[in-house]
Chain A
Amino acid sequence: MSVAKVGTRTDFPAEPPEHPTAPYLRMERIPHVWCPGCGIGTVVQCYATALGRSGVDLDKASVVSGIGCSGRAAGYLKLDGFHTTHGRAIPFATGLKLGRPELQVTVFSGDGDLTGIGGNHFIHAARRNMDLLVILINNFIYGMTGGQNAPTTPLSARSSTMPFGNFEPPFNVPHLAASSGAAYVARWTCLHIRRLTWTLEEAIQRRGFRLVEVIAPCPTLYSRLNKLGTGLDGMSFYHDNAVIRHGADTRELAIDFQKGIVCGKFVDEEKPTFSELMDEHYGRVLGEKYVPMPASGGWQHG
């Protein structure tokens, strides 16, 4: 039995031409699972571009994510990656960085995973100035699990567990990171593709705990529950309401429901990382007895 094709097109190209970002992606897994109009794919595109421009050896770059829509990124990027349990991307990445100090470790995950389930790991990695680049995609809700209230859901916004509007004050994520001790803190929306790419490129070159928060539309849950329209409506909201204030006081970066979003780079400091402090301290206290971890790892790689 032959089944008629939906639609009228018959000239489907056999082999689509190669996208310039294809070398950074596991193309056999594309198309990805993200919904039409979701901003996560754009952030992956910007990260892959920044990684390409930074000239980092791709064999020495790795990406770790937790659970959630954004957490799928680790599976699509063609780098050594790990999709950890919910909230545990930062502890896994910490172990990876300490065990193989030469790696450029990026944590790519969502607001619910990093500041909710894994909130404690987030503040302590920032406090220790762990050498990680954290890309936190904030769409104000738990997407994959069904639109539950997240620690970032703005006051009065609806979620599936707050059908009458949220009354819990949300986290101001850049302030949380900066006040815990992060060395680099920036925020963009996924409409700011150029600036986001430059920032990621710069953050890849920096050391210490680097947080780049990216506001992204979630048309399927956040926008639908709040009647905010499609992903494109989300983008045009950012276009009209995002303001750029580099160096702004992080206390003033809280996001209110459908109000202005302050973007920019807020913190960029050079300070000793966890590994440097540890090496310095044990080198002083233990002297010859202390053997720092070699760049390529411990006994298995030695």
Chain B
Amino acid sequence: MQYWRTPLDAARMTGAHGDVVIIADRCKGCGFCVEYCPLDVLVMSREFNRKGYHPPAVVKSGGCVNCNLCEMICPEFAIFSVARPPEAELQRAAAEGGP
């Protein structure tokens, strides 16, 4: 993320970040997670899973804020988010030329 000035509490505060885990072969392609992800992290992929449905795929890696919405709305227990560990987050910020 880009800041126009470094926030005063930047040293103390870390935004939430997460990674999405998709259990593709359990998905039935309903599209709930893709539609309701508040940050549009997911899309329906063009690939087929073992049952012939299109599972979701992550398009905005690093966009997930670990809100768990996809996990809660999925009727198939096929997707969940896990908190990204802080070191991984720092590395990502460094790679993006962050603060």
Q: Is the interface of B mostly helix, strand, loop or mixed?
A: loop
B24 to chain A, nearest CB (A): 8
A215 to chain B, nearest CB (A): 14
For window 17-45 of chain B, which residues contact chain A by CB distance below 8 Å?
Answer: 21, 23-26, 28-32, 35-36
Does any Cβ of A come within 8 Å of B12's Cβ? no
Residues in chain A near residue B24, CB distance under 8 A: 13
Does any Cβ of B come within 8 Å of A64's Cβ? no
- Contact present for A7 and B48 (CB under 8 Å): yes
Cβ proximity bits A237-261 to B, threshold 8 Å, 1 near / 0 not: 0000000000000000000000000
- Contact present for A42 and B25 (CB under 8 Å): no
Does any Cβ of A come within 8 Å of B57's Cβ? no
Interface residue count on the B side (C-beta < 8 Å): 29
Residues in chain A near residue B50, CB distance under 8 A: 9, 12
Residues in chain B near residue A34, CB distance under 8 A: 75
Q: How far is the CA of A22 from the CA of B77 in the complex (A)?
A: 8
- Contact present for B69 and A193 (CB under 8 Å): yes
Residues in chain B near residue A49, CB distance under 8 A: 72
A28 to chain B, nearest CB (A): 13
Q: Which of A104-112, A118-126, A227-235, A286-294 contacts B (4 or more CB under 8 A)?
A: A227-235
Q: Which residue of A lies closest to B49 (CB)?
A: A9
- Contact present for A193 and B72 (CB under 8 Å): yes
Interface residue count on the A side (C-beta < 8 Å): 38
Residues in chain A near residue B29, CB distance under 8 A: 36
Q: How far is the CA of A31 from the CA of B52 in the complex (A)?
A: 14
Does any Cβ of B come within 8 Å of A39's Cβ? yes
A-B contact count (CB 8 A): 93
Residues in chain A near residue B71, CB distance under 8 A: 19-21, 45
Known A-B contacts A6-B52, A41-B75, A41-B76; the reply to A232 vs B31 at CB < 8 A is: yes
Contact of A31 among B21, B30, B72, B76 (CB under 8 A): B76
B32 to chain A, nearest CB (A): 6
Q: How far is the CA of A7 from the CA of B47 in the complex (A)?
A: 8
Binding site for A on B (CB under 8 A): 21, 23-26, 28-32, 35-36, 47-53, 69, 71-78, 80
A-B complex: 10 closest residue pairs judged by Cβ atoms: A41-B75, A7-B48, A36-B28, A193-B72, A16-B23, A37-B30, A42-B75, A19-B77, A232-B31, A36-B30
Given A22-B77, A232-B30, 19 further pairs, Cβ under 8 A: A7-B48, A8-B47, A8-B48, A9-B48, A13-B24, A16-B26, A17-B21, A19-B71, A19-B80, A31-B26, A36-B28, A40-B75, A41-B76, A42-B32, A42-B75, A45-B73, A230-B30, A232-B32, A232-B35
Binding site for B on A (CB under 8 A): 6-9, 12-13, 16-17, 19-22, 25, 30-32, 34-42, 44-46, 49, 191, 193-194, 197, 230-232, 235-236
